[in-house]
Amino acid sequence: MNERLLLGRSIETGSWVHKLDARSKITGMLLYLAIILLSHSWAAMGLLAVFSVAVMLSTRIPLKYFIKSAKPLRFLMLFIFIVQMLSVKEGEAWLTLGSFSLYEGGLRLGAFSVIRMLFLVTFTSLLTFTTTPGKLNQGLEGILSPFKKLGLKPDRLTMMIGLALRFIPTILDESQIILKAQASRGADLKELPLKEKGRMLVSLLVPVITSAFRRAQDLVYSMEARGFRMDAPRTRYHRLRWGTADTLFVVMFIIMGVAVAVL
Amino acid sequence: MKETNIVNETGDAVISLEGVAFGYDPEHPILHNITLSVPRGQWVSIVGPNGCGKSTLVKLLNALLPKSAGEIVVCGQPLEEETIGSIRGSIGMVFQNPDNQFVGATVEEDILFGLEGLCLSYDEMDERLKLYTEKLGISHLLSKHPGELSGGQKQRVAIASILAMKPGIVIFDEASSMLDEGSRNELLVILQGMRDEGYTILMITHDADEILASDRVLALHGGSLAADLTPEELFRDQELLARCHLREPYPWQLARELQRLGIRTDVPASEKELIDTLWPYNYSK
Amino acid sequence: MAIQLQQVSYTYADRSLWRQTALHDINLSIAQGSMVGIAGATGSGKSTLLQLFNGILKPSQGTVQVLDVTIQAGEKAPRLLPLRRRVGLVFQFPEQQMFEETVEKDLIFGPLNFGMSPEEAKARARQAMTDMGLDLELLERNPFRLSGGQMRKAAIASVLAMDPEIIVLDEPTATLDPLSRAELIGLLERLCREQGRTIIIVTHRMDELLPYADHWALLKEGGLMFQGSGLALAQDPDILERCGLSVPQSLRYWHAVARRFGLEGEQPCLTADSLAERIALLQAEGMRDSHE
């Protein structure tokens, strides 16, 4: 439950990262993705680790929150590690059991994949932790605004994302209750044979979907009653302001990228 | 308050309906031939059994639903395609489910949602944000996600979001029915404050205390206006109460039962008053 | 005893970020065949408590004994399916869990899951409809075409159709109109008195349940503040305020009359008509006394 609640939740500490323009943070994250893909040596990984932890610490958000955000993916990471380890047969064999050998290259690549994934997930949660969903959306809208000329409507897209982020936790909570209610009527997914599980799924999905539609209807009323019209002009309370710190933030990532590419 | 658009000018109608109907099937309309007018500053309770069309009626006023016949005039403007925007600006609505009307991901975003749509300047938004969150006692909750708030707090946010848009009319569509008792009492205090500030209030409710606090009751039944009376008149009319699925407040029930047993008494204001009227002599047994 | 909780605590595994109410050190007994009210302010742990009654939640500490099943913290729970049939749990807004295309199919969903034959399940469904005061013609209807009040009663009937010995309801009257609320409480009381089922109702509208409940449990911030008879509660209504609840008017009026005439030991009159009659009797006695 904790993991899903971290979705779209900001943790306010007022650090310098919190104050940055959302656009620079999104740009930074995209660059970070490139940096991860460019890192191919232990030295690069090491430098990246120092850099990532330093930036995370500077947000004044406890490190354990970042680690928690990667927790749901732990089995996936383990799986990737094992697959990489077993499939790559490079370098010297470290361990041989009959016809089966573990190679140094396999272990290294396995470890790299896991570290990359860990970096990616923990560090990108920095974006959601330090930026409220509204500002994040606004930043996204800003970054996408050049595409307006191509007929794309970034404000519609971000409105959709915003509402989805707002309602996903509510709907998940409700699904929990419906799951419990049906379990109380004897439809406990855990205790039933597979054949019955399909039918039980219907008993969960129909109420959840019906309720989502009802919520959507209520939401439309509430938005329209407050004068909302699609594509009508709006002003913004929080304006996007690109400052020196933002430029520095992005430059920092570019330097990192060059550094790991060289290492 | 320095608002100029909610000055109390008793007498002139801010809402008037003439022969209004709604329904997709003309044979079985959901509402038919509704004619009424509400003067500025009045607090009106709208009552009736489930499915009588109360919620439909209020949604016609700002064209959330399209009327099928009749005339609606809000703040002097007839409701037409071109006036919908301006009429929605003068009517605020608070709905039943506190969760489903929370548009923003935080309290601040939810209040700003309406203000940004009004295309206000930063300073104006900032001022209203501060003023109305303070008024509703939610300024400490600005960065909270709706999941962290109680139902009562969410309804306060909904009210702040709406009042910040400065409507003269506020409609409550069963806004208290999902709240616990404490939050219902708090809502009643907020409503009384709004009445004093001159807002016109339309409130769909089953709650006897809310009805009693209002100035006027419109009872709907089977899609038409069954009665237009004061709360006191409603609570004296047993037949109408039953038709509207309502009960009078407890002191009224008690006074009625006492009268049935031949004990003359007015509706007591408190338990102490009842004891003092029934047993004026301070004898002890 | 139908339900007995001994030193029960419940802690959510993850309450660091979300507002969750845990329960601590609850000792509660609920007698078989009684009508019990559970009240407490928002966030007092009422809903958490209910979910311990049919094993949806398991205690973090202590022992929960329901009928002849014992669930002990730290030990492997027994098979809970049979218990869930015997303890019907009705969540808040139960109409939202209906999913079949007819009311009848929804009503037999529970009974079939618990292994009843289709004939038996259908017979139970009809009985449950009658018990909930619903017309049998509605069985063929689509549940989404019922009125709000009917849908609520049908959803309760879908739990009642399992023929549970204990029925636990979380805010069953929320959002209903006053007449439907009174009617529903009346129907639940009949299930208790006429069929001997144990009825447990969580409510924050104490006034509607006060005249009928045999026993009350009051919660505050996850702890049990009070448990006892309606009479004990009527003798000390201030306890409600200490739990963050307001004292219902019916109780305030009774308490004032009882104090004036020293009737605190009597069974409280918590409806307008019973109190009016008691007052009339007092007046008649007063009249007679003054004539003597």
Question: In chain C, which residues have their Cβ closer than 8 Å to the Cβ of B249?
Answer: 249
Q: What is the dihedral of CA B215, B219, B223, B226, to 10 degrees?
A: -120
Q: Name the token pair of B73.
A: 């005039």
Task: Please indicate, yes or no, if residue A36 is contained in any of the structural domains.
Answer: yes
What pLDDT does residue B270 have? Answer: 93
Q: Which helix (H) or strand (E) holds B59?
A: helix B54-61
Six-digit token string for C165: 């010995």
CB atoms within 10 A of CB C51: 19
Query: Does residue B7 carry a pLDDT above 60?
Result: no
The CATH number assigned to the domain holding B61 equals 3.40.50.300
| Cβ–Cβ below 8 Å for A181 and C18 | no
Q: Is residue A251 part of a domain?
A: yes
Strands C87-90 and C166-170: parallel
Q: Does B276 touch chain C (CB under 8 A)?
A: no
pLDDT digits (tens, 9 = 90+) for A5-16: 445 567 888 899
Task: Please state the domain count of chain B.
Answer: 1
pLDDT beyond 60 at B11:
no
- 3-state secondary structure at position C185: helix
Q: Which residue of A has its CA nearest to B118?
A: A234
Least confident of A105-114, A211-220, B131-140, C238-247: A105-114
In chain A, the number of structural domains is 2
| Residues of chain C found within 8 Å of residue A6, distances taken between Cβ atoms | 17
Degrees, nearest 5: CA angle B135-B136-B137: 95
* Tokens linked to C212: 């009928």
Query: Has residue A209 got a pLDDT over 60?
Result: yes
pLDDT of residue B137: 94
Provide the domain limits for residue B130: 13-231
Q: Which residues contact B195 (CB under 8 A, 6 or more apart)?
A: B41, B43, B201
pLDDT for B5 equals 40
- DSSP-assigned letter for residue B82: G
Instruction: Indicate the Cα dihedral angle C82, C84, C87, C92, nearest 10°.
Output: -170
- Is B100 at the interface with chain C, CB within 8 A? no
Regarding beta strands C3-10 and B200-204, do their DSSP bridges make them parallel or antiparallel, or are they unpaired? unpaired
Q: How many residues does chain B have?
A: 285
State which amino acid sits at residue C235. Q
Cβ neighbors of B39 (< 8 A, separation 6 or more) are: B10, B11, B12, B13, B14, B200
A99 in reach of chain C (CB within 8 A):
no
Q: Mutate which of A128, A235, A236, A240 to test chain B, going by most B C-beta atoms within 10 A?
A: A235
**The two three-digit tokens of residue B98, written as one number:** 């506190």
Residues of C whose CB is below 8 A from A180: 51, 56, 89, 91
Within this chain, do residues A5 and A113 fall inside the same structural domain, yes or no? Answer: yes
* Residue of higher predicted confidence among A33 and A168: A33
Q: What is the pLDDT of residues C147-157, one digit of tens each?
A: 889 999 999 99
pLDDT digits (tens, 9 = 90+) for B23-77: 988 788 899 999 999 999 999 999 999 888 999 999 999 999 999 999 999 999 9
One domain, residues A126 and A174: no
Per-residue pLDDT of chain C (292 residues; tens, 9 = 90+): 899 999 999 987 654 444 456 899 999 999 999 999 999 988 889 989 999 999 999 999 999 999 999 999 988 878 888 999 999 999 999 999 999 999 999 999 999 999 999 999 999 999 999 999 999 999 999 999 998 899 999 999 999 999 999 999 999 999 999 999 999 999 999 999 999 999 999 998 899 999 999 999 999 999 999 999 999 999 999 999 999 899 999 999 999 999 999 999 999 999 999 999 999 999 888 777 666 5
Q: Mean per-residue pLDDT for A56-65?
A: 90
**CA dist., res. C112 & res. C121, Å (int):** 6
| A chain contacts of residue B127, beta-carbon cutoff 8 Å | none
Q: Domain for residue A211, yes or no? A: yes
User: Is the pLDDT confidence value at B166 over 50?
Assistant: yes
pLDDT tens digit sequence for B236-272:
999 999 999 999 999 999 999 999 999 988 999 999 9
Q: Are strands B200-204 and B169-173 parallel, antiparallel or unpaired?
A: parallel
A75 and A48, same structural domain? yes
Q: What is the DSSP letter of C94?
A: G
The pLDDT tens digits of the residues spanning A115-156 come to 998 998 888 888 888 988 778 888 988 898 888 888 888 888
* Angle, CA of C82, C87 and C91, to the nearest 5°: 125
**Could you tell me the residue range of the domain that residue A58 belongs to?**
1-152+241-263
Residue B254 in contact with partner chain A when CB distance is under 8 A: no
Q: Is A212 found in the same domain as A90? A: no
Q: How far is B249 from chain C (nearest CA, A)?
A: 9
Q: Would you call C241 exposed, middle or buried from its count of C-beta atoms within 10 A (0-12, 13-18, 19+)?
A: exposed
In a domain, B8, yes or no: no
**What's the whole-model pTM score?**
0.87
- pLDDT in the model for residue C14: 53
Domain assignment of residue A34, yes or no: yes
Q: Do A146 and A51 belong to one domain?
A: yes
Q: What is the ipTM of this complex?
A: 0.90
Element (H, E) at A147: none
When the pLDDT of each residue in chain A is averaged and rounded to a whole number, the result is: 86
Give the pLDDT of residue A85.
81
As given in the structure block, the two tokens for residue B236 are 């004296």
B100 in contact with chain A, both atoms CB, cutoff 8 A: yes
* Residue closest to C230 by CA, chosen among C211, C253, C249, C245: C211
Kind and range of the H or E run holding B268:
none
Question: Residue B140 forms beta bridges with which residues?
Answer: none
- Same domain? For A101 and A138 the reply is yes
Residues of A in contact with C99 (CB under 8 A): 202-203, 205-207, 210
Residue B4 has pLDDT above 50, yes or no: no
Rounded-to-integer distance, Cα C239 and Cα C242, Å? 5
Mean pLDDT along residues B181-202: 94
> What subunits make at least 3 CB pairs under 8 angstroms with B?
A, C
Q: Are residues A33 and A117 in the same domain?
A: yes
Residue A252: pLDDT over 90: yes
Q: Is B247 on the interface with C (CB under 8 A)?
A: yes
Q: Enumerate the residues of chain C whose CB falls inside 8 A of the CB of residue B147.
A: 18-19
Is the domain of A158 the same as that of A148? no
* Other Cβ atoms within 10 Å of B19 Cβ, number: 12
Structure tokens at C136: 């049998």
pLDDT at B284 over 60: no
- Judged on CB neighbours under 10 Å (0-12, 13-18, 19+), A233 is exposed
